[in-house]
Amino acid sequence: MNRQVFRLTALLILLPATADAQQSVSLRIDEFEGFSWGTAQEVILDSLGEPIQADTLEDNIVVLAFESAIDDTASIAMFAFFPGQGLVKGQHSILFDASIDCVALFRDMRHYLLLKYPMIVPVDRSRNDSSKGFCDAVPDGDAAWITSWEDSRTGARALVSIEAGRPRLNVVFESAEFIAWVEDAEREPDPEP
C-alpha cells in the first residue's frame, strides 16, 4: 500500500510539469478516446461523424475507423463493437517507414500510456533476432516489441506494440469482454475441412 501511495504522490507532484494538457490520467482501463466500454456505436458516430471505413466482421462485430491522432501523432483510430454490448475495443494504428525512428515512436507512445495509467505497472517484451537495427529488422519479421498494462480491477488491458513483419505501431485498449471473446475463440477447435 505504501508503494501505491508513494507512486500516486510522486505522480501528483510531477504531473503538472510533465503531462500534456490534453492527456487524462486514469486509475483504470475503462474507456477508449473518452468513450466508456459499452458505449453504443450510434453515440460514437454522433460524436465523431462519418467514419472513413465501416466493416462488419464475423460474429457481427462492427469496426469503425476514423482519421485521428494520439499524442499529436496522426493515426487511424478503430472502434470495435459487440452486438448488444457496445464498445469493447479501441486501437490507434500508426504506419511507419524507414524515415521514421520507430524506437522513438514506440517510446513516445509507451510514455503516453505510462502517464495515463500511473498506478498500473507495465510489462515489456522485445526481441531482435538480426544484426540489423530494430527498425530495419521489423519489416523482415526479425524484431518485435510490446509493452502491456493489465488492469486487475476491470480485467481490461492497454498495450503498445510493433509486430514482427509489420511496419506499424498499435496502441490498443481492450475490455474484459473482448479479451474473454479472444480467449474463447482460441480454445475452440478449428473446423475440419
User: How sure is the predictor about 24, in pLDDT bands with cuts at 50, 70 and 90?
Assistant: confident
- Closest by alpha carbon to 77, among 170, 174, 166? 170
Architecture of domain 31-186: 3-Layer(aba) Sandwich (3.40)
Query: Domain extents for the chain?
Result: 31-186
User: What does pTM read for this prediction?
Assistant: 0.84
Can you spell out the DSSP letters for 6-19?
A: HHHHHHHHHHHHHS
Is residue 139 left, alpha or beta, with left meaning phi > 0 and alpha meaning psi from -120 to 50? alpha
pLDDT single digits (tens) 83-125: 999 999 999 999 988 889 999 999 999 999 999 999 999 999 9
